[in-house]
Structures are given as structure tokens and as C-alpha cells.
């Protein structure tokens, strides 16, 4: 009998194809109204953008797996899932390099003002003007907020740029050679570039607020490749407008894909549309790992990558 699953966010075409090739019946939760059909659903599949709350889970009495195609799963109420005996999986590891690459790309973009320089050439401004000097990245001090897999991959790349790397996280990481700071504010005060690489969710909501931005100071840059929720966005807009910080490069925002028009109007920002893991190779690897989790679930094998909260399940 074909297994019935429900997609809880849009999925890339190759993922939909893989699901169909594996003979799953795929429902779309925005269309489904029939309680009979809801009862047949045994697994949910979605990207890191998926919102899976207690209310949705209550409507799906037979769901036992939530397979997230993404490393972040802050849209999933994991506590509610665990209460109902549901396991959550994600796709760590396979996207680490891409996210770290984009962090470095954004740091270079905002420090050296590469998108602004591109606009300068395109607009024909070069004919009459000289592009203003920018800021050096090599040899500068980098602060990383969060020293997990992605934080460590960013640090490794930064070391190749002769950067001095400092970090903060919940506790010092064993075996990590970089200097630890207790708080994001203390870290920000020491660095030229501050990169956010912590998971989203309640624990990190607005972690980067006005006091951190003030500590980063008028020569400091903020880079966020984590989740929009980690940065107090109105405080950031104020800091950018008032030149309390030098600039920001952001891949993630509050209310994606809607981006605050005030932010879009500023010239001391570089903005990308949540593309850190969006290479052909990596998105395929993420989809393959999600499929592996689904297959293992239906074949009653150990799940390859449950989220940490579900690892003893």
C-alpha cells in the first residue's frame, strides 16, 4: 500500500519527483480539508521554512515523522511533536560548506562593497567619479556567534584570510582553538565583522539587539546567514540608518520573503534572498538525505539524521 505523506512547504521539483518515484502519495496541506485523508497521512515533509505547530499535528493523528529538508527546524514545535511520539529529522552536514561559503561571500561583499561597485560601473558613474575606498577583510578580526558545524566552517575559511577569529556560544567548545567570549555584546566590542551562525527559535530570538549593535560600533559589520529572528530587525535598521554600525549583509530576514522597505532603501547593506544552501549540488544532497530519512522510517530502520532533541527516540 502506498504511504501517504503531506508537504508542509513548497518543495523543489527534484524532491517532488523523488517522492513520486518512490511511490509516496503526496498531499498539499494548503488544500487538504478532508479529515479522512488527514488520517491517512503518516509523515510530513517540508523545508526549513515549514511551520508545523501543535494545531496542525492535532489534525494529523497518525503522523509519526516530520522530515525537514534543511538544517534549521525552528518552525517545528518539537516539544509538541515529541509529546505525540513524532520524530523530527533534518539535514545537517550536507549544507555546511555552502552556508560558510556564503558567509565569506557576504563578508567580502559588504566589506569591499562589491555589489555597490557593480552598480557604480553599470550606472556609468565610473566615467566621472572614483569609487570610494572600502575596508580590508584579510587580517581583520572576525566574531562568530555560534560555534557549531557552520560556525567552525566559517572560522576555517576566515583563518585562510589571516583573520583573528573569536566566538561566543552557550559554552566554550572543546577542541576549538579560537578565543571564547561569554556574551555577544562582549564579542561584538572586539571585532570588525560579526557573523551570526546560531539556530533560530525562542532561545536565540533577538539575541543581536541594540546593545550588541552598539558594541559592534561604527566601524563594524554584521553578517547574518542564520535566521532573521536572531537579529532585532528594527534595532538593526535604526543602527544602519544612524550609522551606529558600518553595514550589514543579510541572507535572512523577519517575514521572508517580504523585506522591510527601509532596509531595502539603505546603501550600507547587501541583501540576498535566503540562498545560503541554494546550490544545485547541495539542494540535491539535502533532498537525498530527506529521502533517506523517509525511507528509513517506512522500512523501520534507524533514522539517519534525527534532530538532537529526538536522538534518544
| Distance, CA of 115 to chain centre | 22
| Distance, CA of 7 to chain centre | 20
> Do residues 198 and 204 make contact, with C-beta atoms less than 8 angstroms apart?
yes
Task: At 224, list the grid cell.
Answer: 547574518
Residues 53-92: x/- map of binding to ligand 8YV (CB under 6 A)?
----------------xxxx--------------------
- Closer to ligand 8YV by CB, 192 or 251: give it: 251
- Closer to ligand 8YV by CB, 68 or 188: give it: 68
DSSP 8-state symbol, 65: E
Backbone φ, ψ for residue 43 (5° rounding): -145, 150
Minimum CB separation from ligand 8YV for residue 98, in Å?
Answer: 8
227 part of the active site: yes
Query: Which helix or strand (DSSP H or E) is residue 80 part of?
Result: helix 78-83
Residues 9-48: x/- map of binding to ligand 8YV (CB under 6 A)?
--------------------------------------xx
Tally the C-alpha atoms within 13 A of residue 64's C-alpha that lie toward its C-beta: 12
**List 83, 256, 262, 281, catalytic entry:** 256
103 is a contact residue toward ligand 8YV (CB under 6 A): no
Alpha-carbon distance of 198 to 293, in angstroms, equals 24
**List 90, 157, 227, 283, catalytic entry:** 227
256 part of the active site: yes
- Closer to ligand 8YV by CB, 71 or 269: give it: 71
How many chain residues are in contact with ligand 8YV, going by CB under 6 A? 11
Minimum CB separation from ligand 8YV for residue 74, in Å?
Answer: 8
**List 135, 274, 284, 295, catalytic entry:** 274
Dihedral sign, Cα of residue 294, residue 298, residue 301, residue 303: positive
Minimum CB separation from ligand 8YV for residue 148, in Å?
Answer: 12
119 part of the active site: no
Cross-strand pairs, 231:
208
Closest to 270 (Cα-Cα) out of 154, 149, 119:
119
- Residue number with the shortest CB distance to ligand 8YV? 70
- Closer to ligand 8YV by CB, 112 or 205: give it: 205
Question: Any residues with CB less than 8 A from the CB of 231 and at least 6 apart, and which?
Answer: 196, 206, 207, 208, 222, 224, 250
Minimum CB separation from ligand 8YV for residue 47, in Å?
Answer: 3
Alpha-carbon distance of 49 to 296, in angstroms, equals 23
Minimum CB separation from ligand 8YV for residue 29, in Å?
Answer: 16
Which whole-number Å values give the CA distances from 184 to 81, 177, 201, 232, 309, in the listed order? 31, 18, 17, 13, 25
- Closer to ligand 8YV by CB, 166 or 286: give it: 286
> Do residues 295 and 45 make contact, with C-beta atoms less than 8 angstroms apart?
no
Of positions 22, 25, 37, 49, contacts ligand 8YV by CB under 6 A: 49
- Closer to ligand 8YV by CB, 116 or 282: give it: 282
277 is a contact residue toward ligand 8YV (CB under 6 A): yes
Binding site for ligand 8YV (CB under 6 A): 47-49, 69-72, 95, 274, 277, 286
- Residues assigned a catalytic role: 227, 256, 274
Amino acid at each position: 500500500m502506498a504511504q501517504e505523506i503531506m508537504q508542509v512547504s513548497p518543495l523543489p521539483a527534484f524532491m517532488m519527483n523523488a517522492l513520486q518515484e518512490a511511490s509516496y502519495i503526496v498531499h498539499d496541506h494548503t488544500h487538504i480539508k478532508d479529515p479522512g485523508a488527514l488520517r491517512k497521512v503518516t509523515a510530513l515533509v517540508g523545508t526549513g521554512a515549514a511551520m508545523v505547530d501543535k494545531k496542525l499535528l492535532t489534525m494529523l493523528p497518525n503522523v509519526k515523522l516530520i522530515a525537514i529538508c534543511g538544517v534549521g527546524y525552528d518552525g517545528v514545535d518539537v516539544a509538541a511533536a515529541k509529546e505525540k511520539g513524532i520524530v523530527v529529522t533534518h539535514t545537517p552536514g550536507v549544507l555546511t560548506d555552502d552556508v560558510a561559503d556564503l558567509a565569506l561571500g557576504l563578508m567580502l561583499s559588504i566589506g569591499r562593497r562589491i555589489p555597490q561597485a557593480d552598480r557604480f560601473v553599470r550606472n556609468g558613474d565610473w566615467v566621472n567619479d572614483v569609487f570610494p575606498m572600502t575596508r580590508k577583510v584579510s587580517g581583520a578580526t572576525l566574531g562568530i556567534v555560534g560555534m557549531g558545524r557552520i560556525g567552525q566552517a566559517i572560522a576555517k575559511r576566515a583563518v585562510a584570510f589571516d583573520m583573528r577569529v573569536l566566538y561566543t556560544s552557550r559554552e566554550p567548545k572543546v577542541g576549538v582553538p579560537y578565543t571564547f567570549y561569554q556574551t555577544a555584546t562582549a564579542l561584538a566590542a572586539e571585532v570588525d565583522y560579526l557573523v551570526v551562525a546560531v539556530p533560530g527559535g525562542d532561545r536565540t530570538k533577538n539575541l543581536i539587539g541594540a546593545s550588541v549593535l552598539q558594541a559592534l560600533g561604527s566601524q563594524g559589520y554584521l553578517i547574518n546567514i542564520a535566521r532573521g529572528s536572531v537579529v532585532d530587525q528594527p534595532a538593526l535598521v535604526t543602527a544602519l540608518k544612524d550609522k551606529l554600525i558600518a553595514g550589514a549583509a543579510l541572507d535572512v530576514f523577519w517575514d521572508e520573503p517580504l523585506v522591510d522597505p527601509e532596509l531595502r532603501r539603505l546603501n550600507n547593506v547587501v541583501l540576498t534572498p535566503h540562498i545560503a544552501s541554494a546550490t544545485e549540488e547541495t539542494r540535491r544532497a539535502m533532498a537525498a538525505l530527506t529521502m533517506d530519512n523517509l525511507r528509513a522510517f517506512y522500512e523501520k530502520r534507524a533514522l539517519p539524521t534525527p534532530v538532537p532533541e529526538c536522538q534518544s527516540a
